């Protein structure tokens, strides 16, 4: 029997990811990622 749940989950989460991208969240992640994270390295 073909399982539907993984496909449903995949579709939903891809939709969530695309919604995040459309809301400009990539830029937010990028801005954080290209700056030295002082918390991460123990200097925050």
CB of 38 to other proteins, least distance (A): 8
For residue 34, state whether it binds other proteins (rule: CB under 8 A).
Answer: yes
- Tell me how far apart the alpha carbons of residues 11 and 3 are, in angstroms, rounded to a whole number: 14
Query: Does residue 9 contact residue 3 with C-beta atoms inside 8 Å?
Result: no
For residue 1, state whether it binds other proteins (rule: CB under 8 A).
Answer: no
CB of 42 to other proteins, least distance (A): 4
20 Cβ neighbours under 8 A, 6+ residues apart = 26
Residues near other proteins, by CB under 8 A:
2, 5-7, 9-10, 12-21, 23-30, 32-34, 36-44
């Amino acid at each position: 029997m073909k399982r539907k749940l993984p496909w449903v989950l995949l579709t939903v989460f891809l939709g969530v990811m695309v919604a995040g991208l459309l809301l400009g969240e990539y830029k937010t992640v990028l801005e954080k990622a290209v700056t030295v994270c002082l918390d991460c390295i123990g200097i925050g």
